[in-house]
Amino acid sequence: MRGLKDKVAIITGAAGGIGRSLVQRFLEEGARVAALDLNQAGLDEIKGQFQQYAGQLTTAQLDITDHDAVAKAVQKIHADLKQIDILVNNAGWDVAKQFVETTPDLWDKLIAINLKGPLSLQHAVVPFMVEAGGARSSTSPPMQGA
């Protein structure tokens, strides 16, 4: 990864293995990172682990299944950091079970975390990207040659 210096990246699921590695890599490349996760203890560990990047790293506990909380968190990140360039929808969850042992409640939880959560993040972030010129809105004409 190159070209990330001074970019602002939101990374969800930041306290887990893949998320933590993403946070580290983005920080090493000079990005400012908003690390989001439901796991506050894991976020606290990230702060300790990456103390040398304290000026580049912010953390916030967030339940991505709460659309209103997502919108508020993204608004705060934008207000504090003045831009959002990158969204890494890394958060996800599953449980290892035989399908016949699952229930509609579990399906709802899976859909909320793995589908609706990322959609809520995109819904909150994309308008800032479009406003900054970093993303095309759905009303933009198609790219030539696409």
pLDDT tens-place string over residues 61-97: 999 999 999 999 999 999 999 999 999 999 999 999 9
Instruction: Report the CATH superfamily, name and number, of domain 8-132.
Output: NAD(P)-binding Rossmann-like Domain (3.40.50.720)
The reported pLDDT for the residue numbered 71 is 98
Question: For residue 142, is pLDDT > 60?
Answer: no
Domain boundaries, the chain: 8-132
Mean pLDDT of the chain: 92
Pick from 32, 37, 38: nearest CA to 12: 37
Q: How many Cβ atoms from other residues are within 10 Å of residue 137's Cβ?
A: 10
Question: For residue 136, is pLDDT > 80?
Answer: no
Q: Three-class SS of residue 88? A: strand
pLDDT tens-digit profile of 14-56? 999 999 999 999 999 999 999 999 999 999 999 999 999 999 9
